[in-house]
Chain A
Amino acid sequence: MKKVLATLLAGALAATMLIGCGSSAATTKEEAPAPAAEETKTTEETSSTEATEPVAASDDASGDVTIWYYWETAGHQEALNHIIQEFNGQQDKITVQAKYVPFADFKKQLSVGASAGELPDIVILDNPDHASYAAMGIFADITDRFDVSTYYPGPVNSCTLDGRLYGVPFGSNDLVLFYNEDMLAEAGCEVPTTWDELLDVAKKTTKGNVYGFAHSALQNEEGTFNFLPWVWSAGQTSYEINSEGGIKAMNFMKDLVESGAFPKEAINWTQGDTMNQFISGNLAMMINGTWQIPTMRQEVPDLKWNVAMIPQDKQQASGLGGENYAVIAGGNEEAAIAFLQYATSKDTCLYMMNAMGYISSDSTIADGQFDGDPVYQVFVDEMKYANARGPLPEWPDISDAISLAFNKVITGDATPEDAAVEAQATIDGILGK
């Protein structure tokens, strides 16, 4: 008896210890409540059929709508809350509420919520993850319920899986080259347009505490986003790492790091960290995105900086970023779509885009969005060359393989050739499934 008790206690002890670590406690939830989820779905379905026929959505939709989002910038949060308040004030059937979920927790919350059947009605999520969740089946198919015919194909593509539309592009951003005008002038350099020029200018502007050039090279999606333009520019796709262009892109990274112009520490820098280094005067050039502009203009109005297209090898290339709205299947779908109609209408959309430094994904709104702002104009021009990542349900695994490869090259852990072979093996394994 005592032994049994001891074993039980030991189990309990180990278990309580483990609970604290969060990861395992949360993973355990996955499998359990499948039946509960089914149940909620059926009840929701009946209530939504009662509510309305899909076409006249906005007239009959009612109830509460909850939105999850992950923007941590105060300006972004205020802008979202502003349009929500406006919407709630304009009509009295639907009440919209937004909840901030930190980016680091966002995917976890969605996964856990998906299995527990406790999801909001709308999520605003990073577009490369869209396909994974659509494949999981938690997003509503809104193919004939929302018109995206005037939207740019890249962003719409990121919401599409097997020809069906599972979301609405919220807004897009892309990457360009930022440079410190004074530092380039002091080194007597022109703005680089090719890889060779970039390497040259980066070397010349590196001195003292100043590094010539950097971009976020984290071993995650953020790093992949910043690295892939090199691969695309060398004429390859995201799935062709072990190729002439892929290896060339990695060799370019290697040259940058070995020249001392590109800080190895960029493997621990987020895009926000990179921007901070740039505005503190520790970086002469960086790759970064549209959304940094409002902050930079506010924080360092005196710093002389400008933007240019990302220096190219064979062709122009940039990364397409941005968020999508997705309606949760079985949630308050009609009311959610009614809100999306409002949020994507011209004036509301323009207000959001300008407050956040995003480019509208709706081409009719994006035309003329930045009239007379040369900085934003570069982003709009670069948009033509911006490639999307995926869409593929297994994109996170592909992205992981790519980011591991260039991290190995940057840290000197592997040669570009070896890293490429390894990444390609992983990618082929995923695609071959």
Chain B
Amino acid sequence: MKKLKGFFRYDNAGLLFILPAFIYMMAFVGYPIISNIFLSFQDVSVKNLVKGEKHFIGLDNYITIFNDGVFTKALGNTLLFTVACLIFQFLIGFLLALLFCKKFSFAKPIRGLTMIPWMMPMTVTALMFKFMFSTDVGIINYILRTAGLIQQNIEWLTTPGTAMIAVIIANVWIGIPFNTILLSTGLSTIPQELYESASVDGANAFQRFAKITLPLLRPTIESVLVLGFIYTFKVYDIVYVMTEGGPVNSTHLLSTYSYKLSFDLFQYSKGSAVANILFLILFLVGILYLKITMEGEND
């Protein structure tokens, strides 16, 4: 009894407060992840999902998928997709954020409008881009042709290389507002006086940007990039709707390939192995993110 009382001393009471959240996370997040890890070490397929024995087969699923050309392609695609999207989203988003922190008429309503891509349902966006990129009737080929940039229509979604470019463009369009809004919030926290006194001291626009804006914005930039990585790395809908991983598996990402293995081909254990690789990478990035934010708070 005394022990129990001792446990509820002031210091430990905090643990009780996080208990509900902890139980929730364990039940709805922890359990599925652990059971998915188990699944990936078994041989569950169409034959033994419901009936029949499930055997533990160690790392066989992982060995098989790493020898599977489509998986390695999907892994490479996911990295390429993420990095390309991050670079363009960030650069364009940053430029827009810098633009909108200038005070000009209609700055606010226009900034509001740029949020539209972020608010649109992914599927709608994906369908829209699918139409825009279609070979014969797509507006993108029409514009390029009218401007005299191309002679022949580009077969965007039916050629492996260009299909990847098309889905990246679509996803960049969606991701720009996220970068813009976070970066402009960051920009608005930089005191205006710093710029004024720097100008008085004779700093030019570039120097002010490099010596004031960038260093003060560093924590925001780090967060934007890491969160952007996580959001982009697990993209599923846009690729599924635009190309379904095709043509000839050239646009499969880890997410779409995992789905295909599990629910089109009924190879549940292999599908979960792919999902676990996806999880592992995001897990490491998540740790990095927390490290960055905690360092920031300790400063």
**Interface residues, chain A, CB within 8 Å of chain B?**
6-7, 9-32, 34, 37, 107-108, 111, 114-115, 132, 135-138, 209, 218-220, 263-265, 267-268, 393-394, 396-397, 400, 404, 407-408, 410-411, 413
**Interface residues, chain B, CB within 8 Å of chain A?**
25, 29-33, 35-36, 38-39, 42, 44, 46-47, 49-52, 54, 130, 134-136, 155, 157-160, 230-231, 234, 236, 243-249, 255-256, 258-259, 262-268, 271-272, 275-276, 278-279, 282-283, 285-287, 289-291, 294
Q: Is the CB of B36 within 8 A of A138?
A: no
CB distance from A217 to the nearest CB of B (A): 10
Q: Is the CB of A17 within 8 A of B32?
A: no
What chain B residues lie within 8 Å of A411 (beta carbons)?
Answer: 158-160, 247-248
Q: Say whether, besides A132-B46, A219-B247, A18 and B282 are in contact (CB < 8 Å).
A: yes
Q: Is the CB of A30 within 8 A of B39?
A: yes
Instruction: Give 24 CB contacts A-B under 8 Å.
Output: A12-B25, A14-B283, A16-B29, A23-B255, A23-B258, A24-B258, A27-B268, A27-B272, A28-B272, A28-B275, A30-B268, A31-B44, A111-B262, A115-B50, A135-B47, A136-B46, A136-B49, A209-B136, A219-B245, A264-B135, A268-B243, A268-B246, A393-B46, A404-B248
Given contacts A31-B36, A136-B50, 10 further A-B contacts (CB under 8 A): A10-B283, A15-B25, A26-B262, A27-B268, A28-B36, A29-B32, A30-B272, A407-B246, A407-B248, A413-B248
Most chain A beta-carbon neighbours within 10 Å: one of B35, B245, B290: B290
What chain B residues lie within 8 Å of A27 (beta carbons)?
Answer: 36, 39, 258, 262, 268, 271-272, 275
Q: Is the CB of A137 within 8 A of B51?
A: yes
Q: Is the CB of A19 within 8 A of B246?
A: no
Q: Say whether, besides A14-B285, A137-B50, A21 and B234 are in contact (CB < 8 Å).
A: yes
- Complex: how many Å from CA A115 to CA B45? 12
Q: Is the CB of A30 within 8 A of B266?
A: no
| Pick from B49, B155, B234: contact of A17, CB under 8 Å | B234
What chain A residues lie within 8 Å of B271 (beta carbons)?
Answer: 23, 27
- Complex: how many Å from CA A408 to CA B158? 11
- Complex: how many Å from CA A138 to CA B244? 28
| Pick from B25, B42, B283: contact of A31, CB under 8 Å | B42
CB distance from A392 to the nearest CB of B (A): 10
- Complex: how many Å from CA A136 to CA B265? 13
What chain B residues lie within 8 Å of A107 (beta carbons)?
Answer: 263-264
What chain B residues lie within 8 Å of A108 (beta carbons)?
Answer: 262-263
| Pick from B25, B36, B134, B279: contact of A265, CB under 8 Å | B134
The residue of chain B having its C-beta at the shortest distance from the C-beta of A104 within the complex is B240
- Complex: how many Å from CA A108 to CA B240? 15
Q: Is the CB of A267 within 8 A of B247?
A: yes
- Complex: how many Å from CA A263 to CA B137? 12
- Complex: how many Å from CA A423 to CA B245? 18
* Secondary structure type dominating chain A contacts: helix
- Complex: how many Å from CA A135 to CA B268? 15
- Complex: how many Å from CA A148 to CA B211? 82
Q: Say whether, besides A6-B290, A6-B291, A27-B39, A18 and B234 are in contact (CB < 8 Å).
A: yes
The residue of chain B having its C-beta at the shortest distance from the C-beta of A219 within the complex is B246
Q: Is the CB of A135 within 8 A of B46?
A: yes
Q: Is the CB of B289 within 8 A of A10?
A: yes
Q: Is the CB of A10 within 8 A of B287?
A: yes
| Pick from A13, A20, A28, A218: contact of B33, CB under 8 Å | A28
- Complex: how many Å from CA A132 to CA B54? 17
What chain A residues lie within 8 Å of B130 (beta carbons)?
Answer: 268
- Complex: how many Å from CA A25 to CA B230? 16
- Complex: how many Å from CA A115 to CA B290? 36
| Pick from B244, B258, B265, B278: contact of A396, CB under 8 Å | B265
The residue of chain B having its C-beta at the shortest distance from the C-beta of A407 within the complex is B248
- Complex: how many Å from CA A411 to CA B247? 7
CB distance from A4 to the nearest CB of B (A): 12
The residue of chain A having its C-beta at the shortest distance from the C-beta of B33 within the complex is A15
What chain B residues lie within 8 Å of A408 (beta carbons)?
Answer: 248
- Complex: how many Å from CA A18 to CA B46? 25
Q: Which 4 A-B pairs have the closest CB atoms?
A: A28-B32, A24-B275, A28-B36, A14-B286
Q: Is the CB of B230 within 8 A of A17?
A: yes
What chain B residues lie within 8 Å of A135 (beta carbons)?
Answer: 46-47
Q: Is the CB of A396 within 8 A of B231?
A: no
- Complex: how many Å from CA A25 to CA B33? 8
- Complex: how many Å from CA A407 to CA B247? 7
The residue of chain A having its C-beta at the shortest distance from the C-beta of B262 within the complex is A27
Q: Is the CB of A25 within 8 A of B32?
A: yes
Most chain A beta-carbon neighbours within 10 Å: one of B33, B160, B264, B286: B286
| Pick from B155, B259, B265, B285: contact of A264, CB under 8 Å | B155
What chain B residues lie within 8 Å of A37 (beta carbons)?
Answer: 50
- Complex: how many Å from CA A137 to CA B47? 8
What chain B residues lie within 8 Å of A410 (beta carbons)?
Answer: 158, 247
Q: Say whether, besides A17-B282, A137-B50, A9 and B263 are in contact (CB < 8 Å).
A: no
- Complex: how many Å from CA A218 to CA B52? 34
What chain B residues lie within 8 Å of A114 (beta carbons)?
Answer: 49-50
CB distance from B137 to the nearest CB of A (A): 8
Q: Is the CB of A219 within 8 A of B44?
A: no
What chain B residues lie within 8 Å of A32 (beta carbons)?
Answer: 31, 35
Q: Is the CB of A396 within 8 A of B266?
A: yes
What chain B residues lie within 8 Å of A396 (beta carbons)?
Answer: 264-266
CB distance from B138 to the nearest CB of A (A): 10
| Pick from B230, B244, B262: contact of A220, CB under 8 Å | B244
CB distance from B16 to the nearest CB of A (A): 16
What chain B residues lie within 8 Å of A7 (beta carbons)?
Answer: 287
| Pick from B51, B52, B236, B246: contact of A21, CB under 8 Å | B236
Q: Is the CB of B50 within 8 A of A19?
A: no
CB distance from A69 to the nearest CB of B (A): 18
Q: Is the CB of B44 within 8 A of A13?
A: no
